Amino acid sequence: MSDLKIINSATEDEKILIRHVLDLASQSFSSGRQRSSCFLDERQCALCEHALRSSGFNDYELTGGYENAVRRVIVFSGYGAKSVFTPVVFNYRDKDKLTHRDFLGALMSLNIKREMLGDILVNEKRAVVFVMNTVLPLVKDMTKVSRCGVTISYDFSADDIPEQEFEVIKATVSSLRLDSCLSAAIRQSREKTQELIRSKGVVLNHVETYNPSSRVEAGDVFSVRGLGKFVIGELGGLSKKDRIFITINKYK
C-alpha cells in the first residue's frame, strides 16, 4: 500500500491532526524545545509519519513504551528531552479478573480522553496503562477498578509485556490478490470473499478498500470486522498447479 493511498484517504479530522503534528515539528525545530503529540493509533501514526517525511522532518521518535506498542506518541526531542508519559502499574488480587474494558472505562470515567492513554496490558494480578504525564495526577490516586481494589506502582518491566500469539495458516493461492488471500485466511470460497469485500470492506494497511483485486505482499496487514486481523507472512514458490505457497498469521 503506497503512502499516497493512505494520505489520500485521510478524513477531515485526520487532516487536522496531521497539520497539528507538522506544527509541533516546526515549533520544536525553530525553538529547540521538546514537543510531542498525544497517543496515536496505528493509522494515525502511519498518516503522520508520511506527512513528516514528505515535509522533510526526520528527527523524531515514535514510541509507546515498549517495542511492539500499538498506540504511540510522536516526540520531537529538542534539547533537554524528557519522558512525556508514564507506565502505571495497577496491582490487584489474583481472584479479581479485570479486563481491558474495565481499565479503559475506569480511566475515562475520570474525564480522561482516549488519546491521553496508550496501550493497556492486562495480566494476572497486574495491568499496565501508559498514561500521558499531563493527566497522571488524575490516575495516581485510583483505588478501584470495576469494584475491585487496586494499588498503584511504577515497576513496569519486560515481564508485563504479553507475547503476541498467532494462528498460522498455510495455504496456496492462485494470485496475490486480496480476495485470494482473504479466502485462504477465513476459509471461505473466493466468490463469497469477493462479495464480503464489496459489501463490508477490508482494512488493508490502515486503508479501507472494497476492491477484491487489490494487490498484497509479504508484511501487509488486513482485517475484517468480526472475522479477525491477519498479516501476510512468508511467500513460497509455486505448486505443481502454479499456485503460490503462502503463510498467513492470524492475530489471537
- Locate 141 and state its grid cell: 490516586
Per-residue pLDDT at 122 exceeds 60: yes
H/E stretch holding 43: helix 42-54
Least confident of 68-82, 115-129, 181-195, 203-217: 68-82
pLDDT of residue 7 exceeding 90, the answer is no
Q: Is residue 15's pLDDT more than 90?
A: yes
pTM of the model: 0.87
The pLDDT value given to residue 1 = 46
pLDDT above 70 for 86: yes
Average pLDDT estimate for 52-65: 94
Instruction: Rounding to the nearest 10 degrees, give the CA dihedral for residues 175, 179, 185, 186.
Output: -150
All domains of the chain, ordered by start, with CATH?
Answer: 3-76 (3.30.1370), 85-160 (3.30.70.330), 166-251 (3.10.290.10)
Q: Which of 164, 240, 229, 239 is nearest to 248 (CA)?
A: 229
* Distance, CA of 230 to CA of 222 (rounded, Å): 5
Distance of CA 210 to CAs 59, 71, 99, 189, 193, Å?
36, 26, 33, 17, 11
Mean pLDDT of 88-108: 97
Q: Is the pLDDT of residue 5 over 80?
A: no
| pLDDT at residue 39 greater than cutoff 90 | yes
What is the band of 4 on the pLDDT scale with cuts at 50, 70, 90? low
- Using the predicted structure, report yes or no on whether residue 207 has a pLDDT greater than 80: yes
Q: Is 117 exposed, middle or buried (0-12, 13-18, 19+ CB in 10 A)?
A: buried
Mean pLDDT value across the chain: 94
Taking the C-alpha atoms of residue 129 and residue 122, their distance in angstroms, rounded to an integer, is 9
